[in-house]
Structure 1
Amino acid sequence: MKNNHVNTCIRKIAIPIFILAYSFYLPLFAHSPMGTLGISPPYEPIQQDYLIQGIVTDIDSPLPGVNILIKGTARGTLSDMEGAYGLRVSSTDTLVFSYVGYRTLTIAVHGLKKLDVILQSEATQLQEVEVNAGYYTVKDKERTGSISKINGKEIELQPIVSPLEALQGRMAGVEVIQQNGIPGSAPIIRIRGQNSLRSEGNYPLYIIDGVPIISTPVTGGSNMFSNGIDPLSSLNLANIESIEVLKDADATAIYGSRGANGVVLITTKKGKGYNRKTELEAHLYSGLGTVSNKMDLVNTQQYISIRKAALENDGREPNEIADYDLLLWNQNGYTDWQEVLFGGTSTISDFNVSASGGNSTTSFRLGGSFHNEGTVFPGDNGYQKVTGGLQLNHTSEDKRLNLDFTLNYGVDRIDVMANSSNLIRTAISLPPNAPHVYNEDGSLNWEDWTYSAWDNPLAAVLHRTSTDQGNSIIANLGLSIHLFKGLTFRTNMGYTNLQRDYKALLSKDQYSPEIREGANHIAVVTQRNRSSWILEPQLVYTKKIGKGTLDGLLGSTFQQNENKNLNVSGAGFVTESLMGDLSAAKAISVDNNDQIKYKYNAIFARLGYNFEHKYFINLTGRRDGSSRFGPNKRFANFWAIGGSWIFSEENFIKKHLPFLSFGKLRGSYGITGNDQIADYGYLDAYEATPGPNGLYPTQLTNPDYSWEENKKLEAAIELGFIEDRINLGLSWYRNRSSNQLVGFPLPTITGFSSVQANLPATVQNMGWEIELTSLNVNSNNFRWQTFFNLTVPNNKLLNFPNIDLTSYANTYRVGYPLNISLLYQYEGVDPETGLYRVMDVNEDGRYDYEDRTVIKNTGSRYFGGLNNNLTYKGLEFQFLLQFVKHEGYMNYMGLPGQKNTQTADFYKAWQNGNNPNIQKASETYNASIAHSLFFLSEQSLADASFIRLKTLGLSYALPEVPLQKIGLRSCKLFLQGQNLITLTGYNGFNVEFPGGNNIPALRTVTLGAQFNF
């Protein structure tokens, strides 16, 4: 096994080195005069004229009418309808390929008889780029809605697991928070803010190749995943063609209730056009990852000085029972517990391969990938993913019938600690002079820990193991039939299935030997299954009317989701080796076994009119029916209107503003809904009594509660300057979500704590979005592009009548954002007691929510990103800076003076108790209460703003002509970095999710190569 591992490592290292050496070797003889190096070229030049042939394409299809000239002459030709060309050349000629809207390509012949080329589009976002609007596609310059897009090229080589992580810093209005650095962990995504009072009511709609999947994270496994496992984690990132995010009413209303919080459209790659020979693509990379930030904590001597000061202040002498850290533990010993518990290095490797091709009527793409990633924790933990994908497209010879089939399959496995979320907390609180974790013989050290309040921290790591394995399938079949001129029938049929099997083995060896005998080996097995199907028949109509074009769409949706959850635990295994078999347990309990079905039906329509390619109007409507509501409120209507005017096409603009190459005004208004609530909440519910033949009610019926409504308004202007070398987009939006679906609290006399109901509360999200792109330099050899986006959100609870009578009285305040903290007013250190003091506002001698009068916004004030792409010949350099302005909680540190560590900044300010603004070190009850109140006051918040070098990429494309002689169309070497540098004044652990006990995003560096055969 070790030899195989060594051989694998050698191959991983040797292949990139060989290619890199080859890339430097080829130019020496390919471009040097004959005989200068004493090396013959790898081909024999053909001096006489001969015929060279090939095919010219863009990324997806052949390009007819491409102008192909012999450089320096007037001789040339044009490509035909299939992109093919033929031209008589000599071996010393150079061909120039040019086409309107595409970058000119110059290639030396060098004796080649066949030369296929791919032209890259020059189109900017305000030209001919098409974006996916869900049920239809539209040119970016003609869209009436707010849609942001990133291409697969920006995603495929990033060493990440979730495609949502690739959106960070790249899209205005889209905030993605990676609160956990464990691979597979679900990030938090908010599209234009939080609309619902319920955290589970704010997930956007995910659609993959036309098939919606359940967007809520998968929970029920290890609590190391604080937000659950990402349902998109099993996707192959290298198979993604593009990700579009729909934001405003015009873009989302056609999805009705499902689009209330925005829509994320993921499109996978397809075969590259027809009449193409089979092409093979492959890339591989490997690298390392470490935790991107650790806290600066006190050393042993600083810790001991704080502890001794506490004893002196409390007026007592140390004893071995209470002060073992001062009398029994090594006073000169030091351990960096962050390094021990999560200071490891994660190894990352990824391999991806795909083949594509086709004939005159059919194209295909078949691919697969393998991703392996370790963790930074001790033990044998890691993440593995294997994916496969198939895409087939067939068009009949008469072009009337089209079939499109897509299949994506993924299997992933996560091995992490089970129920050990306090591991991070232990690492930043355990005293630095705590005993070693291992004995000299390599066994766990328990003897030096038995008399302390701490357990050996590695016991929980090594003896609480878990495996979470997922299987995901997403399949879609699209059928399109051209009935007659202007009218097409199409249908979309999709199926998804996600199953996750979790097994946790909790050995009693995690406990110290003194209590181990009375403990049990415990096994927990959880099975979670999500499946869904969808059928969407549609009629599409297009007709030219006068100087404009009318587009119509009429369709319906039939969808059903089914969730199954089973949780079983066993205890009393005779030996640890039997824990994997529940039948060997002395006691088995079924903690949860439920099956939930959700049905959704709808009819939808769209009508768009384009007049002279200057004036656009788009009307959408949808009537939804959801099984989550009672019979009285099961259906609801949603609609939107959007319009735009390309005013730069007006003659007076062209005459008086010649520098303005593009100008568009657009706006939209509409209503979307939200049904993201628990199923069957409108029904009466009962449970069996402990005794026989009895039932007692657990849920009250309410057949009249109905949909949340989100009214969306937007106005925007888009400008292009200097032939679209500079593009500016400015958007203002206002979303108001009302009729909030919550559990309405009831008096205890009713026997129920709450009933599902609509509260007359309105949440408003208002803000500005700025998007700026510029083509700074565009020469034959050098190209520099810049992309900038900025979002300034403003979230507010607009109104909430009688909020004081609800359970939300201690959570929200009318007129303030939802992301607020209600805190005590800090009054400094009491000079008499030396303890922190906060204000008792009502002077009743108690501290409760009536005294929490300080309101702090912990949401983002603004966020965005700055991306630069620079290319010079075959060299490309790219970097993305992400920035966020927000406040957050400091990491909670224990009472100074107790047996827990402190930050180095605290010690610097404390300096042996001489700072009157720092509470004295003490272990007393009063000191503990004062310290807790301090961390519930305004002093617990800090500026957690940051600027992060999110991604950095460097790649080199080897010269194409020599590669083609050895069967390679292209080869690129690349170096990729993630989360390399973070600039911040925040001294906590995770600046992205301040105050949380989760490891931050990993800092990773990968090296790889990409091949095209």
Structure 2
Amino acid sequence: MKNKATRLTGVAWILVAVFWATGNLLWAALPQQVVSGRVTDTNDNPIPGVSITLTNSSRGTQTDLQGAFSLNAQATDTLRIAYLGFKSLRIPVGTQMRFSIVLEQDITDLGEVTINAGYYNTTRREQTGSIARVTAEELERQPVTNVLTALQGRMAGVSVVQRSGVPGNAPSVQIRGQNSLRSGFGNSGNLPLYIINGVPIDSAPLNSFSGLTSPNIAGIDPLNTLNPANIESIEILKDADATAIYGSRGANGVILITTKKGTGGKQKTRFNAQVYTGAGVVPRKLDLITTVDYISLRQEAFANDGATPTQTNAPDLVLWDSQRYTDWQEKLFGGTAQTTGVNLGISGGSETMRFNLGLGYQRETAVFPGDYLYNKFTANLNLSHNSRDDRFSLQFNTSFGSDRNRQFDGSSFVSTGLSLAPNAPEVYGDAGELNWEDSSWTNPFSTLYRESEARVQQLISSLSLSYAITPNLEARLNSGYTLLHSNELVKQPLTFYNPTLWSFINSRSLHVGGQRESWIVEPQLIYRNSWGKFNLDALLGSTFQHRKNTGLNMVGIGYANDQLLGNLAAAEQLFVTDNTTQEYAYAAGFGRVGINYARKYYLNLTGRRDGSSRFGPSRRFASFGAVGAAWIVSEEGWMQGLKTFLSFTKLRGSYGSTGSDQVGDYGYLDTYSATPGGGGLYPTQLTNPIYSWERNRKLELALDLGFFKDQLRLSSSWYRNRSSNQLVGYNLPAITGFTSIQANLDATVENTGWEFEASTNLRAGRFNWQASLNASIPQNRLIAFPGIEESSYANIYKEGESLNIQFLYDYTGVDSETGLYTFKDINEDGVYNFDDRVRVKDLTRSLFGGLRNELSYGRVRLDFLWEFVLQEGQQYYPGIAPGRLGAILQEDYERRWQNPGDVAEVQKASQTIDASRAYNRLLTSAGVYTNTSFLRLKTVGLSYELPAENWGLNSCVLFLQGQNLLTFTRYRGLDAQSPGTNLPALQMLTAGLKLNF
């Protein structure tokens, strides 16, 4: 593959050189002229920042504060004038040198706001694929650590789940469902492709010994190093037409992140500053049992069992104070998290050079007791340059982010706070040390003695060079480099352990280190031309990428002094648990042809030939492609009579295939590891050189409508994605000496669904109202898996059902005579047989979306977003059965069985084996699954723009922002979004000031 890549590179650059030389001659023959002008609204007010581009090239400029502009153009060029909230214009240049342009307000950006489609740009009116977009205005004031959490409820087909309220946690992101059978940490096969300014980012969570930031996947999200205030827009590519040009990398959708750019021309240098501060708390606490009722319940359990309380089996009744009550929720996670953020920026330049420089700092404490802290520093720089004749342009972006995280996932504090007896002992003894009263008491505050700190630094840089060989042909070179360095240190002194349980434990330190380094180069040729009503936009390019990941994990055990913890030279024993280096190479050739006729018939053809080092030599290359088409029906002559009502109608559709190589490196090889002490090698993996790419075939049909001059816009789409040739670790019998081998399974996963979007924008004098609604109705099914009954996947998946299912016991209620939970078709042999789980429950979201409103009057603006999810899930039940040592919910106490003949919902208080078995089966039965849907006021913001013109400021805005302020749900746990004992998403309230001058 290396030789092929070299030949492709050579051919590409020979073509560029030939076109360059030929283009210089052709260009020289075409006369250039400087055109200038001024852009105003209908009241003759200048409009700064208006985009002025040439329709057949990427060259352009922006108007300055007085609405003025100038650029080089030819008589055959056409000026394209576009600005958000105003109707766009196209004006032929001809012989005119000076333009006075008046823009009319438009309630829609349907036609002219540029949308990033990856290797090319399009507009909402002209796009043939499915692309969702969120702008900086919706992102920049949210005090989030990870920018992806700001996308919740804002995009159809994009499911974002925040697993924890601990800052820095890695959210779960799925675009139109789960495609792969693989799941879990790292390359799960379902990760989207993240592109930042043209540079792909490895988004797999980083390994963590302490479980930092993610209770479900032990890892740290590398995207935390991005600054949300520096992001201009986020586009998400969903269907085949939008993603096929990325080939195998776009199988699970593509997330394009574009950072802010500088402004130049005649505008003066601009400064901006944003400062905010706020606080966050856990939005909901559970109604746990009181001490009086708890003591009564425990005594009732001993009476039901005919047993006697002792110091061993009932310290809470015999040893502990029966009058003491502690709300452990308040003590363990009832604090207030403080957050502070500062963002500074400067932008400016000249007619040929523009720059944007930004700095950011964020700090957030925890709701847990103790000195837990998360802080982040970011810096970013954008440089843009174009020659005076606009033939050459340069774009350079670089960003650096540094995270320091001294928090932990918090699940231990949350679970302990929900299960600890209300009369448990005080946490500290007379000497101020942790109180270890007996072996039944595990003091949760021992975690305070465990120190952990994770540091992540990431550099992302990109350079794009372009040269207009002729007015219609452009050569472009995109390149990028990323470097991520991470390390984590966890210190566990002797005081961390309970001495009554651990008498032979030594102090230890855990060390995790890793580095990810990647570069990419993409030479391209772009051709644009028009012949009457026929327009052509073609792209030819190639990709060469290399990635190298290294990891080193060590454990030091036995330190003479806690002050030496972390110094590996002072450890009595040292173990290396991981020392790996993995390299990944990727090469591809791609092309696109975009055709439109009369701006009403559109055809988009894309293709890509991919090569990946993750497959054997005979299976490395595969081809992917797609076709997308759109018909703007409202442009037909026979539709003109309906335009006063139905102002816009577009039919579009796409079909194509993408692939996936999201498996580990070197999976096709026999691999060996060294034995300790250098005694030799032992095999760790079997070879399989013939497994190959997953295939994801995507189909979409859509209808876009505009009513009343596009004051109301509706869009609906139906999609079907089928992923086959599944790449999994195929389980092997133990006799082989290996647990699995990488292989392709003849299984097919199907995701179908409907997506709906509606938006409106009404203006009346100084009042403006914008509203948008999105809703998704997804369905996921395993439509084929031959031989699943004989495979190890029979206990996980089922043909015809979703991948997100649970096999459950069939719950039949509480027996009125015995007082125990009962189940249908259970083999009462005391063994938990999986075959007894006859009920199947689908936990896939059946509906999700969001409703956003923005109202403004004069200088005051109010915006809010409601997120809604329709789903089923596991209702919260304490991990301890009624009557055992530990707290339960007050409502369970009041609904328990007490006497024969009672019709109850909660089984009797008991500590017997039968009662424990019945309760454990309940937790894996249909009896605990219920409607866990929720409606949440995700964000609400209120801002006021002060009349700061007299102060020499362009703008001064005061804002108040709230997150997760209200939630309506039947779920009785802490957070319906992430059931269980994770720290819920915090209820945050922040206030800030934003200045532009």
Per the TM superposition, whether the score is higher than 0.5 is: yes
- Which residue of 2 is the match for residue 212 of structure 1? 200
1:251 aligns with 242
Tell me what 2:864 maps to.
Answer: 879
Instruction: Give yes or no for contact 1:563–1:595 (8 Å, CA) kept in 2.
Output: yes
Please state if 1:187 is matched with 2:160: no
Alpha-carbon distance between aligned partners in 2 of 1:688 and 1:871, rounded to the nearest angstrom: 67
Partner of 2:221: 230
- Corresponding residue for residue 472 of structure 2: 486
Code of the residue aligned with 2:133 in structure 1: it is: K
Change (3 A) 1:61 1:485: closer
Counterpart in 1 of 2:322? 331
Choose from 144, 148, 162 the match for 1:164: 148
In the alignment, structure 1 residue 178 sits paired with structure 2 residue 167? no
Is 2:942 aligned against 1:942?
Answer: no
Q: TM-score, normalised by structure 2?
A: 0.89
Structure 1 residues 246 and 67: CA distance shift in structure 2, 3 A: closer
Report the residue type matching 1:707 in the other structure. W
Structure 1 unmatched ranges of 5 or more:
1-52, 69-77, 84-97, 105-116
Deviation at 1:216?
1.2
1:789-800 map, 5 Å: 789-800=774-785
**In structure 2, what residue type is equivalent to 1:276?**
Q
Instruction: Please list every run of 5 or more consecutive structure 2 residues that lacks an aligned counterpart in the other structure.
Output: 1-43, 54-59, 72-80, 88-100
Please give the per-residue CA displacement for 1:468-527, whole angstroms capped at 9, x wherever unaligned: 011011000000011112100001110011111100001110224556764321111111
For residues 830 and 897 of structure 2, the distance between their equivalents in structure 1, rounded to whole angstroms, comes to 33
| Cα deviation 1:615-658 (Å, max 9, x = unaligned) | 00000000000011111110000000000000011111112453
SS at 1:175 equivalent: strand
Question: Which residue number in structure 1 is paired with residue 358 of structure 2?
Answer: 367
Q: Distance in 2 between matches of 1:572 and 1:831?
A: 56
Partner of 1:920: 908
1:968 is the counterpart of 2:953: yes
Q: Which residue of 1 aligns with 2:423?
A: 433
**1:150 equivalent among 134, 141, 151:** 134
> Could you tell me which amino acid in structure 2 is paired with residue 940 of structure 1?
V
Pairing of 1:541-560 with structure 2 (within 5 A): 541-560=527-546
One-letter amino acid of the structure 1 residue matched with residue 991 of structure 2: L
Residue 636 of structure 1 is matched in structure 2 by 622
Secondary structure in structure 1 of the residue aligned to 2:317: helix
| Mapped contact 1:60–1:271 kept (Cα < 8 A) | no
Whole-Å Cα distance in 1 between the matches of residues 104 and 272 of structure 2? 18
Partner of 1:732: 718
Matches of 1:543 and 1:123, distance apart in 2: 31
Match of 1:888 in 2: 873
Is 2:83–2:112's contact at 8 Å kept on the other side of the alignment? no
Provide, for residues 568-590 of structure 1, a one-character-per-residue CA deviation record: whole Å limited to 9, x for no partner.
11111111111132211111111
In structure 2, the CA distance between the partners of 1:936 and 1:127, relative to structure 1 (3 Å rule), is: same
What is the identity, as a one-letter code, of the residue corresponding to 2:823? V
Partner SS for 2:655: strand
Query: 1:453 — aligned with what?
Result: 440
Which residue matches 2:982? 998
Q: Is the 8 A contact 1:205 1:262 kept in 2?
A: yes
Give distance in 2, aligned partners of 1:101 and 1:723. Answer: 16
Q: Does structure 2 retain, via aligned residues, the 8 Å contact 1:603–1:622?
A: yes
Change (3 A) 1:130 1:208: same
User: For the structure 1 residues 357 and 580, does the alpha-carbon distance in structure 2 shift closer, same or farther, using more than 3 Å as the test?
Assistant: same
CA distance in 1, matches of 2:621, 2:485: 31
Cα deviation, 1:323-372, whole Å, max 9, x if unaligned, reads 11012111111111111111110001001010001111000001101101
- Counterpart residue identity of residue 381, structure 1: Y
Q: What's the CA shift string for 1:514-551, capped at 9, x where partnerless?
A: 56764321111111211110000000000113311101
Q: 1:465: how far off?
A: 1.2
Q: Deviations over 1:59-108 (max 9, x none)?
A: 6679999999xxxxxxxxx965449xxxxxxxxxxxxxx9997569xxxx
Q: Is 1:57–1:118's contact at 8 Å kept on the other side of the alignment?
A: no
Alpha-carbon RMSD across the aligned residues, in angstroms, is 2.4
Q: Which moved more, 1:934-943 or 1:705-714?
A: 934-943
Instruction: State yes or no: 1:766 paired with 2:752.
Output: yes
TM-score (norm 1): 0.87
Residues 455 and 511 in structure 1, CA contact (< 8 A), matched pair in contact too: no
Instruction: State the Cα deviation string for residues 162-183 of structure 1 (Å, max 9, x = none).
Output: 1111110000000000011111
Question: What's 2:414 paired with?
Answer: 424
Q: What are the equivalent positions in structure 2 for 1:80-119 lying under 5 Å apart?
A: 80-82=68-70, 102=85
Quick one: distance in 2 between partners of 1:658 and 1:370? 51
Alpha-carbon distance in structure 1 between the residues aligned to 2:847 and 2:82: 41
Between the aligned partners of 2:462 and 2:623, the Cα distance in structure 1 is 27
1:135 to 119, 124, 128: 119
1:267 aligned residue (234, 246, 258) = 258
Asked whether the 8 Å contact 2:731–2:739 carries over to 1, the reply is yes
Distance in 2 (CA, whole Å) between partners of 1:709 and 1:797 is: 15
2:433 corresponds, among 444, 448, 457, to: 444
Output one character per residue of 1:118-143: Cα deviation in whole Å (capped at 9) or x when no partner.
Answer: 99974624221111000010011000
Identity, % of aligned pairs? Answer: 49
Closer, same or farther: CA 103–444 of 1 in aligned 2, 3 Å: farther
C-alpha distance in 2 between matches for 1:102 and 1:194: 37
**Hey, what does 1:1010 align to over in structure 2?**
994
Contact 1:607 / 1:618 at 8 angstroms: preserved in 2?
Answer: yes
Secondary structure in 2 aligned to 1:335? Answer: coil
Distance 1:364 1:917, change over 3 A: closer
Q: 2:917 matched to 1:929?
A: yes
Aligned residue pairs: how many? 916
Contact 1:234 1:387 in 2 (8 A): yes
1:293 paired residue among 284, 305, 308: 284
User: Aligned to 2:367, which of 366, 369, 376?
Assistant: 376
Please give the alpha-carbon distance, in whole angstroms, between the structure 1 residues aligned to 2:988 and 2:569: 43
Contact 1:450–1:512 (CA under 8 A) maintained in structure 2: no
User: What is aligned with 1:58?
Assistant: 49
Structure 2 distance, partners of 1:80, 1:268, is: 25
Q: Name the residue aligned to 2:582.
A: 596
Residues 846, 438 of structure 1: alpha-carbon distance in 2 compared, 3 angstrom cutoff: closer
Shift in alpha-carbon separation, 1:513–1:817, aligned structure 2, 3 A: closer
Corresponding position of 1:826: 811
- Letter in structure 2 aligned against 1:866: L
Using a 3 Å threshold, how does the CA distance of structure 1 residues 685 and 79 change in structure 2: closer, same or farther?
closer
Q: Which amino acid aligns with 2:350?
A: N
Contact kept, 8 Å, 1:66 with 1:99, in 2: the verdict is: no
- Asked if 2 retains the 8 angstrom alpha-carbon contact of 1:56 and 1:118, the reply is no
Deviates more, 1:880-889 or 1:118-127: 118-127
Q: Distance in 2 between matches of 1:123 and 1:259?
A: 33
Secondary structure of 1:141's match?
A: coil
What is the identity, as a one-letter code, of the residue corresponding to 2:148? L
Where do 1:376-395 residues align within 5 Å? 376-395=367-386
Contact 1:866 1:880 in 2 (8 A): yes
SS in 1 for 2:406: strand
Counterpart residue number, 2:457: 471
Superposition deviation, residue 852 in structure 1:
1.0
Equivalent residue for 2:302? 311
CA contact (8 A) 1:550 1:609 kept: yes
Residue 985 of structure 1 corresponds to: 970
Q: Which residue of 2 aligns with 1:716?
A: 702
